[in-house]
């Protein structure tokens, strides 16, 4: 099938309001170079530092955003949530839906070496190899032999992907997957240069220099720990003629007032707003509020603490949270109360939004009396009279506001002692993955427009299931969704709805809010494209106008 006609995601319609978020003339390319300023440098604020430039190991949105603009996969997301040509010019799918063949264009890495089908094979094999330790390796589960590879029963070289010559890639699936084309548009499926990975070994991708790039930009400054990093136009990119920006300079600015001052003084072209800023700056010409397919939720370490294994305790913590008050009065940034892990607008089926259909209002209600009752019962059942916890989150303004609110509500209503621990984003990710927490505020952005991108996180043994919640009925439903019923739209949808309700009723996680992204963007910045899912920002056709 040709790429101009995107493979439909079963019969699930998705994100009807994909935002082409550019300023001024919208997201259409510049009509001529006469509209472009001489200085094509864009300065951009991030709320946290860049954590990883390794396609196999990156897990956070900032890393994904950077990798998406310095790399290129087989396909890429575009307008209307469709996939479009990137390194692959077209692909075909077998009649049984189990074999995809991608036909690659001739393109180059930033070091001049050709990008070939073998680079995709190597990158995919490296990601699924258990020795690599990729948390995203589960995305490969439906490719032939991946399950055996993940269990160490077969070598990574047996993965169902092969290069037929330099520019033909063949992928064999265990069973048909309707959304497979959207998977290969993810940074976890981007190619990797074997010679470069082997040259640098453990230091691979540890800084800007220890890597190569095949995307519209290349990373030219980043120490591996610096709070700022720079992307420069990549002349080796296959569509370099369409890239207008010369440089993208990113800065992690954690203090909102500092960010605003730098925006007002011209040091930053774009900033995110927090606290009272969205209210105060709504009339600013550069203000816009973006919708995010990102959910914030609380994970409780069930492996570490018997009380957190008690369902009543988890339910009490959830019922003690007034999500409406929190999102409107505390965050006030366009965020809305979460009704589950799957965000509103991600997917619809037969006119029904998944987030609306797959909810259990009693699980996310604000019920003080019931919360107190359940908490008292949980303490008695676990032989306790009181409870102390450490609540971990990011050291960003939003992270601090979240822990402060939860600390206040839980202490006041349930009588437990909460010690807040706000730490750098990178550290929070590492400690969460290692299980070094009592309770943690986590965030997850959908990688592709299907509920399974969120729901599969909480199956037993999933690398992102940091709290180690486990439920056999939930696991069984998710297994059916991804195997036997993968191509039965009715059954698949109903099973996902049932699965989320189980997750909510048992409070496997505690949903908090669906994130908003209020921002100020200078009017001179054109054609920056924003998508609520995946890596969010695409700067490949952005430019600075006169």
pLDDT in tens, 104-159: 999 999 999 999 999 999 999 999 999 999 989 989 999 999 999 999 999 999 99
13 exposure class (CB count in 10 Å sphere: 0-12, 13-18, 19+):
middle
Q: What is the mean pLDDT of the chain?
A: 91
Check whether 436 has a pLDDT greater than 90: yes
Confidence tier at 534 by pLDDT (50, 70, 90) = low
Average pLDDT over residues 238-251: 97
Check whether 421 has a pLDDT greater than 60: yes
Check whether 92 has a pLDDT greater than 70: yes
What's the pLDDT at 58?
94
CA distance 6 to 9: 9
More confident residue, 40 or 448: 40
Average pLDDT over residues 236-249: 97
Structure tokens at 154: 């077969």
Predicted model pTM:
0.78
What's the pLDDT at 81?
63
More confident residue, 282 or 10: 282
CA distance 267 to 545: 17
Within 10 angstroms of residue 32's Cβ, the number of other Cβ atoms is 7
More confident residue, 532 or 264: 264
Share of the chain above pLDDT 70, in %: 93
What's the pLDDT at 319?
98
Taking CA atoms, 220 is separated from 83, 139, 178, 397, in Å, by 28, 30, 38, 29
What's the pLDDT at 377?
98
473 exposure class (CB count in 10 Å sphere: 0-12, 13-18, 19+):
exposed
pLDDT, one tens digit per residue, over 35-83 is 899 999 999 999 889 999 999 999 888 999 999 999 999 999 876 667 8
- The number of residues making up the chain comes to 546
Question: 198: which residues sit within 8 A by CB, 6+ positions away?
Answer: none
Average pLDDT over residues 350-355: 94
Average pLDDT over residues 250-266: 95
More confident residue, 277 or 317: 317
Helix or strand run (H / E) with residue 494: helix 489-505
Check whether 28 has a pLDDT greater than 80: no
What's the pLDDT at 34?
74
Measured CA angle at 81 (ends 181, 128), to 5 deg: 35
What's the pLDDT at 498?
98
Instruction: Give the max Cα distance, the chain.
Output: 74
CA distance 154 to 138: 16
Percent helix, strand, coil in the chain, to 5, is: 35, 25, 45
Question: 327: which residues sit within 8 A by CB, 6+ positions away?
Answer: 335, 336, 337, 513
More confident residue, 191 or 33: 191
What's the pLDDT at 33?
62
What's the pLDDT at 445?
87
What's the pLDDT at 31?
46
Average pLDDT over residues 414-433: 94
Helix or strand run (H / E) with residue 229: strand 228-233
Check whether 27 has a pLDDT greater than 80: no
What's the pLDDT at 15?
34
What's the pLDDT at 535?
63
CA distance 362 to 75: 41
Share of the chain above pLDDT 90, in %: 78
Check whether 29 has a pLDDT greater than 70: no
What's the pLDDT at 465?
96
Confidence tier at 311 by pLDDT (50, 70, 90) = very high
Task: Report which DSSP code applies to 228.
Answer: E
More confident residue, 22 or 378: 378
> Three-class SS of residue 39?
coil
């Amino acid at each position: 099938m040709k790429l101009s006609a995107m493979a439909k995601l079963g019969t699930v319609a998705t994100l009807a309001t994909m935002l082409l978020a550019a300023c001024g003339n919208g997201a259409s390319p510049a009509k001529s170079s006469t509209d472009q300023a001489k200085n094509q440098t864009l300065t951009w604020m991030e709320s946290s530092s860049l954590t990883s430039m390794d396609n196999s190991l990156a897990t956070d949105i900032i890393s994904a955003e950077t990798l998406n603009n310095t790399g290129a996969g087989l396909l890429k997301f575009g307008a209307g949530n469709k996939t479009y040509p990137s390194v692959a010019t077209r692909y075909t799918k077998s009649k049984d839906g189990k074999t995809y063949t991608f036909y690659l264009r001739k393109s180059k890495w930033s070091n001049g070496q050709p990008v070939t089908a073998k680079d995709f094979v190597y990158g995919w094999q490296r990601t699924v190899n258990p020795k690599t330790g990729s948390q995203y390796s589960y995305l490969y589960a439906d490719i032939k032999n991946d399950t055996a590879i993940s269990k160490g029963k077969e070598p990574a070289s047996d993965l169902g992907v092969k290069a037929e010559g330099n520019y033909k890639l063949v992928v064999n699936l265990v069973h048909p997957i309707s959304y497979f084309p959207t998977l290969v548009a993810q940074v976890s499926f981007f190619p990797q240069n074997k010679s470069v990975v082997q040259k640098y070994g453990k230091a691979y991708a540890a800084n800007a220099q220890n890597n190569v790039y095949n995307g519209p930009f290349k990373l030219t400054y980043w120490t591996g720990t610096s709070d700022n990093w720079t992307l420069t136009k990549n002349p080796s990119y296959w569509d370099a003629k369409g890239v207008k920006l010369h440089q993208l300079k990113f800065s992690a600015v954690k203090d909102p007032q500092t960010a605003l001052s730098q925006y007002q003084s011209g040091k930053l072209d774009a900033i995110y707003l927090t606290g009272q800023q969205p209210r105060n700056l709504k009339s600013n010409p550069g203000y816009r509020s973006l919708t995010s397919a990102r959910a914030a939720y609380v994970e409780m370490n069930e492996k570490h603490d018997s009380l957190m294994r008690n369902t009543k305790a988890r339910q009490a913590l959830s019922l003690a949270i007034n999500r409406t008050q929190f999102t409107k009065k505390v965050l006030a940034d366009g965020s809305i109360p979460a009704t589950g892990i799957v965000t509103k607008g991600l997917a619809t089926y037969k006119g029904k939004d998944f987030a609306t259909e797959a909810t259990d209002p009693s699980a996310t209600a604000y019920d003080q009396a019931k919360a107190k009752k359940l908490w008292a019962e949980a303490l008695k059942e676990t032989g306790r009279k009181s409870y102390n916890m450490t609540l971990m989150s990011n050291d960003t303004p939003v992270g601090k506001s979240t822990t402060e609110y939860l600390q206040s509500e839980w202490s006041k209503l349930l009588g437990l002692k909460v010690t807040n621990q706000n730490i750098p984003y990178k550290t929070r990710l590492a400690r969460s993955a290692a299980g070094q927490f009592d309770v943690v505020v986590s965030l997850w952005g959908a990688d592709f427009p299907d509920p399974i991108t969120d729901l599969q996180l909480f199956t037993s043994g999933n690398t992102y299931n940091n709290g180690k919640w486990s439920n056999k009925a939930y696991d069984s439903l998710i297994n059916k969704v991804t195997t036997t019923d993968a191509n039965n739209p009715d059954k698949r949808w109903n099973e996902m709805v049932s699965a989320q309700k189980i997750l909510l009723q048992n409070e496997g996680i505690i949903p908090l809010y669906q994130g908003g992204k209020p921002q100020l963007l200078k009017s001179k910045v054109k054609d920056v494209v924003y998508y609520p899912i995946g890596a969010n920002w695409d700067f490949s056709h952005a430019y600075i106008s006169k």
